[in-house]
Chain A
Amino acid sequence: MELMLDAKCAPSEDVVAREIEGELIIVPLVAGIGDMEDELYTLNETGKAIWARLDGQRTLRAMAAELAMEFSAPPGEIEKDVLGLMTELMRRKMVVVQ
């Protein structure tokens, strides 16, 4: 399924995210998340900023607009980054489209 900017996404109930010493760790609760069994995942700083906005309420476009303001960057650039990460997270079943 191709992800669109009008989509609203939220973290999957099959994962929990914990911030440990500044690093955001995503812990799969069930099998079949990610590429390997029992593997933990981490988001980089930019990824964390996106994850923090995954509330199932905002569209990805609105999220990108907020980030564009925060980083003083053209929204089009950020939209591509947001879509790229969300597609990756969806592939790993870490987020769901509301």
Chain B
Amino acid sequence: MKIEHFEDIEAWQLARELTRIVYRLTKTPEFAKDFGLKRQIQEAAGSSMHNIAEGFDAETNAEFIRFLRYAKRSCTEVQSELYVALDEEYISTVEFQDAYEQARRTRAAIRGFTNYLKKYETSKVKPTVEPLNR
């Protein structure tokens, strides 16, 4: 897996799509009128995206993983807020399922990427120079 830019991270691509879906859903007149929920869910979706991007510039894997944890939580927050939107009938069941599934996929990709970084961290061998046969 070669990652040169944060845009190359699959989890970020999925989070971007999640954000796009959330913004589309919140444009309907019913949803748009609920300023509190609209702002919350938009911010949570955006946060999933931005934390991955921000974490990419982290100095260490440990710091990067912390940002990914925030991003993962934001996905869960989006899922919870989608329930409110469904219960208030701002969105249909199909729209709910579509957005919920996107949040789940994003969360799974973030978890996978986090595990990858953890694995790298533990398997990484610090470069050393040692006397031979000592």
- Within the complex, the shortest CB–CB distance from A73 to chain B, in Å, comes to 6
| Other-chain contact of A89, B64, B124, B129 (Cβ < 8 Å) | B129
Chain B residue total in the interface (Cβ 8 A): 22
- Cβ of B94 under 8 Å from chain A: no
* Count of interface residues, chain A, beta-carbon cutoff 8 Å: 31
Shortest Cβ gap from B1 to chain A (Å): 5
Chain A residues contacting B60 (CB-CB under 8 Å) are: 74, 76-77
A30 interface residue per 8 A CB criterion: no
Taking A69-B2, A76-B58 as contacts, is the C-beta distance between A81 and B126 under 8 angstroms? yes
Asked whether A55 is an interface residue with its Cβ less than 8 Å from the other chain, the reply is no
Is A39 close to B, CB under 8 A?
yes
Are A94 and B129 neighbours in the complex by a CB distance under 8 Å? yes
A19 at the interface (CB under 8 A from B): no
Q: Determine if A73 and B129 form an interchain contact, defined as CB atoms under 8 angstroms apart.
A: no
Main secondary structure of the interface of B (DSSP, over half): loop
Does B128 interact with chain A (Cβ within 8 Å)?
Answer: yes
Judging by beta carbons under 8 Å apart, are A44 and B127 in contact?
yes
Q: Does A9 contact B (CB under 8 A)?
A: no
Residue B132 contacts which of A25, A49, A74, A89 (CB distance < 8 angstroms)? A25
Task: Assess whether B61 is in contact with A74, with CB atoms less than 8 Å apart.
Answer: yes
User: Known: A39-B132, A41-B132. Is A73-B127 also a contact (CB below 8 A)?
Assistant: no
The 6 A-B pairs of least Cβ separation, nearest first, read: A76-B59, A46-B127, A47-B127, A85-B127, A40-B132, A42-B132
